[in-house]
Amino acid sequence: MDNVSNITNTTMNNSNNSNDLSLSNIKFFIDGVLSIIVIIFGLIGNTLTVIVLRNKVMHSSTNTFLTGLAIWDMVVLLGSLLLITLPELSQSFNNNVHPYVVVFVYPVCLIAQTSTIWITVSFTVERYIAVGYPLKAASMCTVTHARIAVIVVSVAALLYNFVRWFEYQVDSTENLKAIKTTLSNNSQYNTVYFLYTYTIVMLVIPLGLLAVLNTFLVLAVRRSRVQQKTMHVRQARENNVTLMLISVVVVFMICQIPALVYNIIYAIHNRKLDTFQIEILSSTRNFLVTFNSAINFILYCAFGQKFRCVFIRTFCWCIPRDVGINQSMSTPGIHIMTKLDNKKFKSMLHKGSCTEMSHTQQTHLSRYSPYSSRTPSPRHSPLPSARMHPDGSHNELHPNMEYTCKSHLLSRKSSDRSISPQN
């Protein structure tokens, strides 16, 4: 979480040395009041996100990435609370606890920030594969691979930021405070680690990849919308996933770029920036990164149709469960028979019972789509509403499900006929 690098300067030095009342008030409002509201909302939102994404009907590779992102986002929010917000709101916390937070918690926050950046890159790459190479996606974009990627990113983030535990130490000779170590004051260390390594690992590579891949995804969605009339249900579902992830990446880049640029300037100037404008920029970029870690829940609800449906079914007990089911069936992401011609469907109802539908005329779920789920076992379910299964997957339909629809308007002889829809 290099969005709070220079945290000892921006919090401690400012409170001790600055006499500018306006600066103090601005920092109190941004770092204190606004930040704690965003942090509380973000912790609640990310907790709800993890619960929803852990639902078995949300079982997919992309949702595995998003679960890891939500967990690390909570670490970022807790780090912002301890490193920035509480020291700004409580002088006692700043004097007695904050020095230990800088020494021991600060590196964990940096690990969390690095992980969020590269998990975002990871699911963007996965979405690029799913959209650009759909034939390879079934074997490459799996839950197992996603879990491995999240673990690898987390371990790599730990190794990259391990040295940060040696940058500060607690000094209790006079007043309790965190002071820089010899390593932290070393100019070569600052040049190599902050100016070069940090620029490449945290700025050039991830933001470059996100910009290129996100551009490709945006163009792919636009092409699909032009062909919307002939779009298959599965394509519509994939586009919905892509649109949701594009929104996450765009917000991520908007919120992260100021923080990353600030840290480069901070390293170039030998980590000594005390002007009024720089202090305000520091508070702003810290708030933006905190905001980014808190806002994803809103993006998932706004753009993720199945996420929204599962969230309603899980937490909105006052709403009948059938409402969530009907909503999910009416959305492009989870529709039953959009490829089935209406006239054929009506003729089926009037001609007699219809048994097993053809494979191409029913919704089948993508293994690598975040809207996919575990395949429910075939069960009889009356049209048009599906019964709720014991495994909770009442809103998902399998290609091999059988439907029985008998017409009471027909004679016994005609109602005994079984008609399968034609392609």
Tens digit of each residue's pLDDT (9 = 90 or more) over 167-198: 999 988 878 889 999 998 888 888 888 778 88
Lowest mean pLDDT among 3-7, 62-66, 243-247, 275-279: 3-7
- Give the pLDDT of residue 135: 86
pLDDT at 228: 58
| C-alpha Rg value of the chain to the nearest Å | 27
Give me the sign of the Cα torsion angle 133, 368, 306, 47: negative
Q: Give me the torsion for CA of 175, 186, 83, 54, rounded to 10°.
A: -150
Residue range(s) defining the domain that contains residue 46: 2-313
Q: What is the reported pLDDT for 85?
A: 95
Residue 64 maps to a domain: yes
Q: Which residues contact 278 (CB under 8 A, 6 or more apart)?
A: none
Instruction: Report CA torsion sign: 59, 61, 62, 67.
Output: positive
Q: Which residue did the predictor score with more confidence, 278 or 144? A: 144
Question: What's the mean pLDDT in 126-132?
Answer: 89
Query: Comparing C-alpha atoms, which of 168, 198, 220 is closest to residue 7?
Result: 168
Beta bridge partners of 169: 179
For residue 225, the model assigns a pLDDT of 67
Percent of the chain with pLDDT over 70: 65
DSSP string, 245-286: HHHHHHHHHHHHHHHHHHHHHHHHTTT---SHHHHHHHHHHH
pLDDT higher than 50, residue 327: no
Asked if residue 57 belongs to a domain, the reply is yes
Q: At what angle do helices 61-80 and 35-53 cross, to 10 degrees?
A: 150
Report d(CA 15, CA 21) in Å as an integer.
11
Counting Cβ atoms within 10 Å, is residue 269 exposed (0-12), middle (13-18) or buried (19+)? exposed
- 78-87, 168-177, 252-261, 279-288: the lowest-pLDDT one: 252-261
Distance in angstroms (rounded) separating the CA atoms of residues 5 and 131: 37
For residue 321, name the pLDDT band (cuts at 50, 70, 90): low
Task: Read off the pLDDT band of 162 (50, 70, 90).
Answer: very high
The rounded mean pLDDT for the chain is 75
Q: How remote is the C-alpha of 234 from its chain's centroid?
A: 22
CA distance 356 to 404: 9
In the 8-state DSSP scheme, what is residue 399?
T
Structure tokens at 72: 């690390």
Decide: 28 and 84 in contact? Cβ < 8 Å: no
Task: Please report, for the domain that includes residue 213, its CATH number.
Answer: 1.20.1070.10
Instruction: Give me the pLDDT at residue 276, please.
Output: 77
pLDDT grade for 204, boundaries at 50, 70 and 90 = confident
Range scoring the smallest mean pLDDT among 98-107, 279-288, 331-340: 331-340
Q: Which of 88-102, 128-142, 181-195 has the highest mean pLDDT?
A: 88-102
Q: Is the pLDDT of residue 236 over 80?
A: no
Beta bridge partner(s), residue 168: 180
Between 71 and 395, whose confidence is greater? Answer: 71
Is residue 400 a part of any domain in this protein? no
pLDDT of residue 227: 63
Does residue 339 register a pLDDT over 80? no
Q: What is the mean pLDDT of residues 131-159?
A: 93
Q: What is the dihedral of CA 354, 359, 365, 366, to 10 degrees?
A: -170
Residue 226 placed within a domain: yes
The answer to which of 131-140, 148-157, 206-215 has the lowest mean pLDDT is 131-140
Residues 386, 328: contact at Cβ < 8 Å?
Answer: no
Residue 186 lies in a domain: yes
> Residue 65 half-sphere exposure, CB side, CA atoms within 13 Å?
25
How far is residue 257 from each of residues 65, 209, 349, 384, 406, measured CA to CA in Å? Answer: 22, 14, 58, 49, 61
Q: Residue 271: its pLDDT value, please?
A: 58
Asked whether residue 415 carries a pLDDT value surpassing 50, the answer given is no
Q: Kindly indicate the confidence band of residue 61, based on its pLDDT and cuts at 50, 70 and 90.
A: very high
Question: Is 343 exposed, middle or buried (CB count within 10 Å of its CB: 0-12, 13-18, 19+)?
Answer: exposed
H-only helix segments in 316-409: 321-330, 342-351
- Is the pLDDT score of 390 beyond 60? no
Instruction: Give the number of other Cβ atoms within 10 Å of residue 258's Cβ.
Output: 18
Q: What pLDDT, on a 0 to 100 scale, did the predictor assign at position 349?
A: 41
Alpha carbon distances (Å) from 188 to 69, 200, 261: 33, 17, 20
In 3D, which of 194, 195, 192, 165 has the Cα closest to residue 181?
165
pLDDT at 137 over 50: yes
Return the closest-CA partner of residue 140 out of 63, 62, 237: 62
H or E segment at 157?
helix 143-161
- Domain count for the chain, please give it: 1
Q: Which residue has the tokens 């006079």?
A: 174
What percent of the chain lies above the pLDDT cut of 90?
A: 40
Q: In sequence order, which residues have a C-beta less than 8 Å from that of residue 226 and are 6 or more positions away?
A: none
pLDDT of residue 52: 95
pLDDT greater at residue 141 or residue 356: 141
Q: Residue 279: what pLDDT?
A: 83
Contact 112, 79 (CB under 8 A): yes
- Give the pLDDT of residue 243: 86
For range 371-376, the mean pLDDT: 43
Closest by CA to 127, choosing from 67, 216, 208, 225, is 216
DSSP class per residue in 81-121: IIIIIHHHH-HHHHHHTHHHIIIIIHHHHHHHHHHHHHHHH
Mean pLDDT across the stretch 110-119?
A: 95
| Token pair recorded at residue 66 | 């998003």
pLDDT top residue among 192 and 2: 192
The residue with greater pLDDT, 295 or 265, is 295
User: pLDDT for 145-156, tens place per residue?
Assistant: 999 999 999 999
pLDDT given at position 337 = 37
